[in-house]
Each structure stands twice: as structure tokens, then as C-alpha cells.
Amino acid sequence: MNPSKPPGGTGGQGVPHTTFNLLNLCCHNVAVKHNPTEADIREYFWSLVDKNGLLPDPATGIKSKCWLWLGSVTDQGYGRFKAGGKTYMISRYAWREKGRRDPGALTISTRCSNKLCVRHLYTRTRAEIMASVPRRRASGEDSYLARATSKQVLLMRKLYAKGNVTQTALAERFGISTSNVKKILTRRSWKHI
């Protein structure tokens, strides 16, 4: 650098000397390149993958090590990276890197249950994912919100079906609100019985 020129001058191209501009000119990080090639993106992706990850839980049946993403992650813990103004999700990018077709609406999941693994990939439908998620809410008497028992619900429905009792009378008899009685009778709650 010419000592007679101050550090804020131009580099002969009308571009001021700043750390950011020098990084744009010399850095190989694809995230700061404006028009990266497919080869640049591929090189950047694989530079952030550790192919010497841990072995998955033996219960999964997988005997090969995970290839772990070391780059940026979303708030939900899934890997991602940016290149050429586009954001890539690592599982989809790795799927394509394996020479597989775009899965479209299918979701790419990992057999090893590690969100950052780019090796043990397979596709699933949204319905398959929802079916595999354990139910979080308890229903009926198991719910901490339950105001009645199964026997009381069946009795309320039986008495109301006979036609000789009102919803208000049922609420008073069973010690719950009229709105809860209505939900029980219309099966908006206690649907399972």
C-alpha cells in the first residue's frame, strides 16, 4: 500500500478501499460473491460439512457416521446457507447433490433424526410426518382441563336425549358451566366417547 495515500482512498477503479470491498474482491466465501457458479456453491456447501460426525443412535439401525452441517441454522435448528442472493436449505441441497430429482412437495427428512445431517436422507409426505409425531394433548379424563368424567359425560348425553332436562339443569347437577355442557352434548368436546 502506498504510504502517501490515506487508507480511505480509491483503488484505481473508483471503489474506496474498505475492508468490505477488499473482502468482496478477494474472498472465496460464496456468500459474498454476487454471481457464484454452481461449482462455487458446491465447494462452499461441502466446506461446511464435517464428514466425520458421530454415529447415530443404534436404535435407528444406521451404521455409518453422520455428515454434519457446520454453517448457519434456522431458529428451528435446520441448516441453511445463502449463495448468489438465494437461500438454500441444506437437506434439499444435499438431496440434489446426491443426484436425486427435486422431491417437490415431499419433505426431506433424516433417518438418523439429526436435523444437521446431510447423509442419511429420505423423503416423506406431510401426512407421514404428522402421523409419526406423538400426540401432545391428552383428551378426556387424562386432560388437566377435564371438568367431568367419562361416566358423567355418558350420563349427561343419556339424560338430555330423553328430553326431560335442560342444559342449565345438567350444568348445575354436574357442577360445570352451561357452555361446557353444550360442548359435551354437541360433541365439540369429549368426541372420543
Model pLDDT, residue 189: 87
Burial class (CB in 10 A: 0-12, 13-18, 19+), 60: middle
Domain residue extents for the chain: 19-131, 140-185
pLDDT for position 147:
80
User: E-strand spans in the chain?
Assistant: 49-50, 68-69, 80-83, 86-89, 107-110, 121-124
Divide the 193 residues of the chain into consecutive groups of 10 and give the mean pLDDT of each group: 42 38 38 77 94 89 93 92 91 94 91 93 91 71 77 92 93 91 91 85
The alpha carbons of the chain give a radius of gyration, in whole angstroms, of 30
Reference 50, options 98, 118, 96; nearest CA is 118
CA-CA distance, 182 to 178, in Å (whole number)? 6
Instruction: Report the alpha-carbon distance of residue 187 to residue 181 in Å, rounded.
Output: 10
Sign of the CA dihedral running 159, 163, 164, 170: positive
How far apart are the C-alpha atoms of 78 and 116, rounded to whole Å? 6
- For residue 140, the model assigns a pLDDT of 73
pLDDT given for residue 100 in this prediction: 93
